[in-house]
Structure 1
Amino acid sequence: MTTPDTHATLNGPFDPAVQNSLELKGFARVPHDVMRPALEQLGLKDWASFAESWNHLGLDRYMADAGRYRRRRYATFAVDQTTITPKQRQPHYQSRDHNILNGGIQRWFKAIEPRVAAHPAMHAAIRAIASLAYALTPAESRPHTWHAEVHQFRIEALPDEAGQPTPEGMHKDGVDWVLVLMINRSNVEQGTTTIHDNEQNLLGSFTLTNPLDAALVDDHRVFHGVTPVTPINPAQPAYRDVLVITLRHE
């Protein structure tokens, strides 16, 4: 089913500083007070029900480190300037060049629930990264349609096991553009995002702490990773919820 995009122009809801940071440095940190109005321009509403859906993810059973700390759901879309079209269920695949821990195999994760895939918050987030991709990709190499992969992640920090948001370490995803959107943090510390250039020089580090804090990454130009999360109070549930959207040429 093709979903009409009521904001068809994708003409950029962001402050110019966000685009400038991506152009100059290959990444941008976008605080929630900037990200929220940008997403609201693109149709964001009913955030509470969207965030609540992270309570219904499936255990990631493909962890080569035998970790039981990651829950997720996954979906793919075709995205152009007027539509966001769900694709048929398919596996997630990364080469071992991009994911030395879990790459090299097809991973079949639980699908994102239809109500979540069609949620206004989901579509606003997809439109947001698509607007930047269209703006920053040279016209001669800009695809008519982007392949979008969408991941709901919950990383649980257990009393005897730190949660690993990026267990593969500092990495690239093998795509063109990446959006990491904070959904919620509960009873965790650490989880610091670090960005390195292609020569592994540190370019920046920051922690996504508030709902709607975001990181945007040009996957060709920089590596990214996140430090482990640990519980503040080991007697209480502790987790870090994020939405990750990647775009690449079809």
Structure 2
Amino acid sequence: MSPPASPGLPALETPLAREGHVFLQGEPMRALLEAAGSLSDWDSFAASWNGLELDRHMADGGRYRRRRHAVYAAGRDGPVERQPHQPHYQSRDYNRLNGGVARWFEPILPEIGSGASLDTLLRFCRGLFGRLSPQVANWHIEAHQFRIEARAGEAGQPTPEGVHRDGVDWVLVLLVRRQNIASGVTTIHRPDGSPLGSFTLTAPCDATLIDDSRVYHGVTAVQPLDPAQPAYRDVLVLTFRSEAAAS
């Protein structure tokens, strides 16, 4: 049985079911989130990206990515519960660059992981994805905080593995902040590689939601507008996978 629809969800649910992806600008996305819960700690939530740790698992030797990670479990309703800290794993079928190994990242800080904004985002996605996958009783959810940095002579690669799938059921990519960067265009593709669309996340809460079983996605490299100033792209990625498939 599908969970009831929240106000405004059909604006996402219908195109996501039809096309396998949807892009929503920040203001309407924030309105949907605020209708579903609280974003009362948004300022501290966004500021927590300043405390991300360097990703030391980059097989390309890059030092342009910082991140933190957490795992949650959720049923069709009820609480979304954080799980003991554990590694992130993708097979090489989904990540040709960094797959095939268990990657341990620093955990999302407790006050951020249990804060209002992340809780609202998790429950909002659980409701939306649950309506689109009514057969799923329990979800394995991973939350990733990413900062992609760009410097003079070193572009930042939001998707260094290239156009890809994540090996899950559903994906949310939400922009938190974009500072002094050019490019970072999100591209959506059919499995045969042909393009389905492109857009750029530019404002806080700009978001894309993806049916990972149906479409591929990638993001072009980012470069600093002013090489003398800090340049970065902060995003939250939430992935939802059927607990039956994850176990």
Q: Same fold (TM over 0.5)?
A: yes
1:63 aligns with 2:50: no
Q: Is 1:119 the counterpart of 2:115 in the alignment?
A: yes
Q: How does 1:78-157 map to 2 (within 5 A)?
A: 78-80=73-75, 81-137=77-133, 139=134, 142-157=135-150
Number of residues of Structure 1 aligned to a counterpart in Structure 2: 239
Name the counterpart of 1:46: 41
Q: Which one of 18, 22, 27 corresponds to residue 33 of structure 1?
A: 27
CA RMSD of aligned residues (A): 1.0
C-alpha contact (below 8 Å) 1:74/1:110 kept by paired residues: yes
The letter for the 2-side match of 1:76 is: V
Given that 2:9 and 2:128 are in contact with CA atoms closer than 8 Å, whether structure 1 keeps it comes out as: no
Asked if the contact 1:10–1:127 (Cα under 8 Å) also holds between the matched residues in 2, the reply is no
Deviations 1:4-39 (A, max 9, x none): xxxxx6633434221111111100001111111111
Q: Give how far 1:230 is off.
A: 0.2
Secondary structure in 2 matching 1:134 = helix
TM-score (norm 1): 0.93
Q: Do residues 21 (structure 1) and 11 (structure 2) align? A: no
CA separation of 1:10 and 1:245: change in aligned 2, threshold 3 A: farther
More off after superposition, 143-152 vs 179-188: 143-152
Verify the 8 A CA contact 2:41 2:116 in the aligned structure 1: yes
Cα displacement (A) at 1:169 = 0.2
Identity %, equivalent residues:
53
- Matched to 1:28, the amino acid is V
Aligned to 1:239: 232
Which region of structure 1 is more displaced relative to structure 2, 27-36 or 40-49? Answer: 40-49
Establish whether residue 211 from structure 1 lines up as the match of residue 204 from structure 2: yes
Structure 2: gaps spanning 5 or more residues:
none
Aligned partner of residue 21 in structure 1, secondary structure? helix
What TM-score do you get using the length of structure 2 for normalisation?
Answer: 0.94
CA distance in 1, matches of 2:48, 2:54: 14
Other-structure match for 1:3: none
Other structure's SS at 1:198 match? coil
Q: Which runs of 4+ in 1 moved over 6 A?
A: none
CA drift of 1:46 comes to 2.3
Which secondary structure does the structure 1 equivalent of 2:107 belong to?
coil
